[in-house]
Each structure stands twice: as C-alpha cells, then as structure tokens.
C-alpha cells in the first residue's frame, strides 16, 4: 500500500521509515527541505517540499494512489485541514491526525478522523491506525497465554451489537473507545464507525479473531443468536 506522511519531524520521519521497512511505498511532505535529513539512510520514498495542505504537493507525494495518510506536522490546524482534504477530496479511508491540544480530540473523532497525542507512543499508535492489517499486540501476559490487541471496528460491524464479535473462551471485548472516550462496553451496545476496540485474545486465536472482524468466518451473528436460544 502507499502511505502519505505530512510532516517530517521525529514522528513523521520515524513513521515513514517504519512503513517502508514493512514493505509499503511512502511519500513525505514538509515545508522545510532540511527536515528530510530526519529520514533514515537510504530512504526509498518520495520527499516533497511544500505545504501539506497544498493539493498539488499532495498529488506529487502520491495522494491519488494512497491507501493511508498521516498528518503529523507541528500544527493542529494544519493537521486537521490535511486530514479532511485527504478524507473528503481524495477519499482516503485510513487517515490519522496528530494533535497537541487534547481538548480537540473529541471534535476530530466526530469528524471521523482518529487522532494521536504528542506522547512517546505517537508513532506506534499512528502506525496501528494507518496499517491495521499488520498483526500487532498491545500486551501479552507473562505466561504467553493471553494477549490484548487494539483494532478499529470495521464498517461492516457498525449498527450490530458488539457481543456478536465475542467468542467465549477465545476472545472478549475489554475496552471500547468512542469519540475519544474509553468505556467498558455494556450488554447490547451497538458498534459505530470510528470505534476502537481492545480485545483479550487467547494464544493462537488471533487469526480467527481477524477473520471474524473481516467477516470471512461465516455468519457470526447467526452463531451468537443460536447460542442465545440454546441457553
């Protein structure tokens, strides 16, 4: 896949380097040509000098064939404008914006744009949102029997009860983040586009969980309804 990164500071350059290392093509935009010295040696992507919200520069960086965009410049306003152009003009589904003012997070989430804060895990969190198909775990217990994973709720699950996702003894939903607020899901809660899930998964069941999320494991909802009728 192709990823466009706007902002080539520490976060942007690291994010671009990690995406290339995972086999993706990358285009980086920064208004300062000197910022590209932050990129890793031998960086094979595109480096474009200009403002991130300049559509010509975005096209030069490959926005028209891009699958994802990260707006991680030093300005909140620039990042939200870039993210909205990517989403609304170029139809990029996987978009993430870096924020410095945490109070704006809920506003951005209501616009359907996931955000990451300026803390030590910014790069990793941005990568998770841009490249959700990559297998990553948030935490694994010392015995290696259970892991916690974070996943964005696929659009196909919006409007369905989140209980349909669960498979007792294999994985359970532990935490739901919606519009920037985390909660413990209550029974009967319906999924919404933009939801972020943290699930507890038994060792060896991650691939099956990914299949359930993707909808390639059959009619999960029917299976849940059958279990309820038999109980």
Q: What is the pLDDT of residues 180-223, one digit of tens each?
A: 788 999 999 999 988 888 999 998 898 899 899 888 655 444 44
pTM to 2 decimal places: 0.55
Query: What's the pLDDT at 193?
Result: 84
Considering only residues 115 and 45, tell me which one the structure prediction assigns the higher pLDDT: 45
Mean per-residue pLDDT over the chain, rounded: 82
pLDDT recorded at residue 217 = 59
DSSP state of 72: -
Q: Please classify residue 207 by burial: count the beta carbons closer than 10 Å to its beta carbon, then call 0-12 exposed, 13-18 middle and 19+ buried.
A: exposed
Residue 182 burial (CB count, 10 A): 10
- DSSP label at residue 155: G
Can you name the residues that pair with 1 across neighbouring β-strands? none
In the predicted structure, residue 66 carries a pLDDT above the cut 50: yes
Q: What are the structural domains, with CATH classification, of the chain?
A: 2-130 (3.40.50.720), 139-230 (3.30.70.1450)
CA distances (Å), origin 211, targets 91, 200, 207, 215, 217: 25, 16, 6, 6, 6
21 membership: H or E segment, kind and range = helix 10-21
Distance (Å, whole) CA 193 – CA 112? 8
Looking at the predicted structure, is the pLDDT value of residue 224 above 50?
no
Residue 21 is predicted with a pLDDT of 86
Confidence of residue 120 (pLDDT cuts 50, 70, 90): very low
């Amino acid at each position: 896949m192709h990823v466009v990164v706007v902002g080539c500071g520490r976060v942007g350059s690291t994010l671009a380097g990690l995406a290339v290392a995972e086999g993706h093509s990358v285009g980086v935009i920064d208004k300062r040509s000197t910022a590209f010295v932050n990129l890793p040696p031998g960086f094979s992507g595109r480096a474009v000098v200009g403002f991130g919200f300049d559509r010509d520069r975005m096209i030069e960086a490959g926005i028209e064939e891009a699958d994802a965009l990260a707006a991680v410049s030093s300005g909140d306003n620039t990042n939200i404008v870039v993210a909205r152009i990517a989403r609304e003009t170029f139809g990029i589904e996987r978009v993430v914006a870096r924020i410095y003012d945490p109070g704006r997070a809920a506003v951005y989430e209501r616009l359907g744009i996931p955000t990451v804060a300026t803390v030590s895990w910014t790069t990793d969190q941005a990568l998770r949102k841009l490249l959700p198909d990559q297998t990553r775990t948030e935490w694994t217990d010392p015995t290696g029997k259970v892991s916690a994973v974070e996943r964005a709720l696929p659009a196909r699950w919006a409007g369905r009860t989140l209980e349909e996702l669960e498979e007792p003894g294999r994985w359970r939903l532990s935490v739901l983040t919606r519009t920037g607020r985390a909660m413990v899901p209550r029974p009967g809660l319906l999924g919404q586009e933009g939801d972020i899930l943290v699930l507890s998964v038994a060792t060896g069941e991650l691939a099956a969980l990914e299949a359930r999320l993707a909808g390639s494991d059959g009619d999960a909802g029917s299976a849940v309804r059958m279990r309820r009728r038999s109980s």
